Amino acid sequence: MFDAAMAELSEKGFAGTNLEKIAGRAGVALSTLYRRWGNLTGLLQDLVDELTLDLSPPDSGSLDGDLAALGRLILRLHRHPVHRPWMDAVTAAAVHDPAARAVLSRTIMARIQRAAGVVEAAVARGEIPADTDAEDVIRMLAAPFYYRMYVSGEPLTDDLPERVAGAVAAAVRAGTLRRTAP
């Protein structure tokens, strides 16, 4: 089913496919898909949730090392044979389609929260200020990768994880990216 969904998405994009076409391609009853997923975005959410991606946070012992490892993880996702087309399809659709935007946002926010553990670990080690905004640190780290992929259209080079991690870790050690008063 996921194979048929990805093939449809790759060929036609989010706007050009639907559960009926995916059912036809997979050779299963449309009612089965409706019962299980309800709609295309439900299937897309399940698809990315079921990819066997190793998203466990790194534990290198330093903030620089952990942020660089997270950067390398983003590079791996960018080169993943299923995750990459999934991400492309959902990102393109999310610009104009609220349902696709909800799937993308939910997925990314869950990853930000999970990755934020490396910042909390650095706080616990006394490496950085206690009121560092852990999720904002992860956003600063991830953003330059996605900016190159989807905005400037530049390649993701192998030195990018260390480079961006070094900059973000230095910013945090200098006391920026603190939590603001609610």
The DSSP secondary structure of 102-146, one letter per residue, reads HHHHHHHHHHHHHHTHHHHHHHHTTSS-TTB-HHHHHHHHHHHHH
Of 13, 20, 12, 2, which Cα lies nearest the Cα of 100? 13
The binder of a second copy chosen from 29, 51, 95, 124 (CB under 8 A): 95
Write the interaction track for a second copy spanning residues 112-131; mark x where CB under 8 A is met and - where it is not.
Answer: x-------------------
153 contacts a second copy (rule: CB under 8 A) = yes
55 contacts a second copy (rule: CB under 8 A) = no
| Residue at 145: amino acid letter | F
105 contacts a second copy (rule: CB under 8 A) = yes
CB of 92 to a second copy, least distance (A): 4
108 contacts a second copy (rule: CB under 8 A) = yes
Distance from C-alpha of 167 to C-alpha of 130, rounded to nearest angstrom: 19
- For residue 135, what are the CA distances in angstroms to 27, 50, 90, 102, 147? 43, 24, 22, 19, 18
1, 49 Cβ separation under 8 angstroms: no
* 56 versus 152: smaller Cβ distance to a second copy: 152
44 contacts a second copy (rule: CB under 8 A) = no
Q: Which residues bind a second copy (CB under 8 A)?
A: 13, 15, 88, 91-96, 101-102, 104-105, 108-109, 112, 136, 139-140, 142-144, 146-148, 150-154, 159, 163-164, 166-168, 170-177, 180
